[in-house]
C-alpha cells in the first residue's frame, strides 16, 4: 500500500506545508523510511515524530525538513513545535479512528515539513504543522483529490506564490477583441479601458505584430496581466518556429492560416500542444474548412470562421458551417470562433448556431467609448465566470 497526502495550512511566516506518504513497513514506503532515517545530510537530518522525548507516535512517523537548517535557533523549531505538531496529529488520527488501530504496528509515515527560517511563534508553528499533517493524513486515506476535482479546478485555480493566473478557455463563450491598430501606445490605452472579465480574450493583431515584431506581445502583457492573449501570426510556413516565437513572448495562443500546407499545420498544432498553448486555425479564404480539418492528425483547439459578407452571399453562412463542424467533430473539444462583421445585433444568432468565440475589432477598438462597446457584447456573452467562485479549502 502506498498513499499520498499534501496540505498547506496557516499564514506566513509560520505557514506549514506537508507532503506525506503512508504505507506498510514491508512495501516501498517502509524501504524509503529506513533509507531516509539512515541518511544524514547536512541541514536536512530526518527525525522521528515524538509527542515528547521518549514518546514517539505510532504509526512511526519520520519528519524530514524541506528547508536547510543552518543554525540552532531553526533547529529548535524543527525539534520542537513542528515535530510535536506532526506527532500529535498522527496520535489524534489514531484516537479518532482516522487511522485504524489494527495497522499502527504495520504502517509507517514519511512527513516532509516546511518551516520558514523567519518563523518565530512556536504556538503557530505547532498549530499549523498539526493541522497540515492531520489534513494530509485525511487526504491520503481518502485518496484526495479525485480526478474529477483536478479536472474541474485545473483551469480555475491560481497558485498563490506564483502571483499570476494562466487563463484557459474552459467555459465558452468568449469575446475576443482584435487589436489590429498598428500603434502600440494607443493599443495599450484601449486595453486599460476594456472591462476586466474572464470572458475577454485579447488578440495581438497581424498589423500590430508586423510593425513591432513578436516582442509586442510581451509589451501588451505588461498592461493586460492575466488576460488571455492570442498572437495572430497567420502562420503559412515554419509552423513550429512561429509557435516558439509566440510562446517566448508569453502568448496564450497562436494563429495559423488554414491555407498553410497540411505538414505546416500539423507541426504547428503539435508544437502548440507540446508547449501548452492553444492552436488557432483561421479559415479565411479556405474553400472547404471541414476538408482541411479532416486531413489533420490532431485537431486545433480553435477554428476561426473568418468570412466576409460577399462570401456568404454565394455559399453557406457561417452559422450553417458552425453546425456542420460541431456535428462532424462532436467527439473533440474544438472551439469555433467567428470573425468579420460581428456586432451586438448578430451575437445571438452566432451563439444559437454554436459559436464559442465572438471576434470583434473596429466596433470596439475604434469606439469613442471602449468600455461601453465591450459591455454591449459581454451582456450577451454572459456573466463573468468568476462571480460565484467560492473558496472551500
- Which residues form the catalytic set? 17
84 touches 51 (CB < 8 A): yes
* Residue 49: Cβ within 10 Å count: 27
252 touches 301 (CB < 8 A): no
CA distances to 20, 260, 281, 299, 329 from 267, rounded to whole Å, are 41, 11, 13, 12, 20
3-state helix, strand, coil in the chain (%, to 5): 40, 20, 40
325 touches 290 (CB < 8 A): yes
Q: 362: which 3 cell numbers?
A: 473596429
CA dist 76 and 101 (Å) reads: 31
251 touches 224 (CB < 8 A): no
Identify the sign of the CA torsion 222, 223, 228, 234. Answer: negative
CA dist 181 and 91 (Å) reads: 65
CA distances to 7, 61, 63, 111, 125 from 83, rounded to whole Å, are 16, 10, 7, 10, 10
Q: 172: which 3 cell numbers?
A: 465558452
Amino acid at each position: 500500500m502506498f498513499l499520498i497526502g499534501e496540505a498547506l495550512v496557516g499564514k506566513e511566516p509560520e505557514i506549514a506545508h506537508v507532503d506525506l506518504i503512508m504505507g506498510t513497513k514491508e512495501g516501498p514506503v517502509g524501504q524509503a523510511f529506513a533509507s531516509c532515517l539512515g541518511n544524514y545530510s547536512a541541514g536536512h537530518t530526518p527525525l522521528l515524530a515524538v509527542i515528547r522525548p521518549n514518546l514517539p507516535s505510532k504509526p512511526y512517523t519520520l519528519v524530514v525538513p524541506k528547508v536547510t537548517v543552518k543554525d540552532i535557533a531553526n533547529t529548535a523549531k524543527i525539534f520542537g513545535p513542528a515535530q510535536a505538531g506532526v506527532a500529535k496529529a498522527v496520535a489524534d488520527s489514531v484516537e479518532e479512528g482516522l487511522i485504524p488501530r489494527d495497522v499502527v504496528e504495520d504502517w509507517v509515515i514519511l512527513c516532509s515539513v516546511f518551516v520558514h527560517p523567519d518563523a518565530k511563534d512556536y504556538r503557530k508553528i505547532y498549530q499549523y504543522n498539526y493541522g497540515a499533517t492531520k489534513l494530509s493524513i485525511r487526504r491520503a486515506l481518502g485518496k484526495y483529490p479525485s480526478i474529477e476535482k483536478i479536472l474541474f479546478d485545473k483551469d480555475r485555480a491560481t497558485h498563490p506564490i506564483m502571483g499570476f493566473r494562466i487563463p484557459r478557455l474552459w467555459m465558452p463563450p468568449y469575446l475576443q477583441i482584435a487589436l489590429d491598430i498598428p500603434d502600440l501606445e494607443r493599443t495599450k490605452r484601449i486595453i486599460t479601458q476594456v472591462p476586466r472579465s474572464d470572458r475577454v480574450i485579447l488578440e495581438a493583431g497581424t498589423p500590430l505584430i508586423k510593425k513591432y515584431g513578436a516582442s509586442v506581445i510581451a509589451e501588451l502583457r505588461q498592461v493586460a496581466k492575466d488576460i488571455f492573449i492570442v498572437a495572430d501570426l497567420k502562420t503559412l510556413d515554419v509552423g513550429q518556429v512561429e509557435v516558439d516565437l509566440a510562446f517566448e513572448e508569453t502568448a496564450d495562443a497562436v494563429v495559423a492560416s488554414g491555407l498553410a500546407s497540411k505538414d505546416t499545420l500539423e507541426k504547428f498544432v503539435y508544437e502548440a500542444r507540446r508547449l501548452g498553448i492553444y492552436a488557432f486555425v483561421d479559415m479565411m479564404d479556405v474553400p472547404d474548412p471541414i476538408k482541411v480539418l479532416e486531413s489533420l492528425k490532431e485537431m486545433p483547439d480553435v477554428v476561426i470562421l473568418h468570412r466576409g459578407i460577399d462570401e456568404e452571399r454565394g455559399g453557406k453562412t457561417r452559422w450553417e458551417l458552425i453546425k456542420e463542424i460541431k456535428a462532424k467533430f462532436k467527439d473533440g473539444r474544438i472551439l469555433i470562433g467567428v470573425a468579420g462583421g460581428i456586432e451586438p445585433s448578430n451575437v445571438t444568432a452566432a451563439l444559437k448556431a454554436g459559436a464559442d468565440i465572438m471576434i470583434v475589432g473596429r466596433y470596439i477598438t475604434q469606439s469613442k467609448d471602449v468600455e461601453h462597446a465591450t459591455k454591449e457584447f459581454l451582456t450577451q456573452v454572459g456573466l463573468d465566470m468568476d462571480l460565484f467562485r467560492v473558496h472551500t479549502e
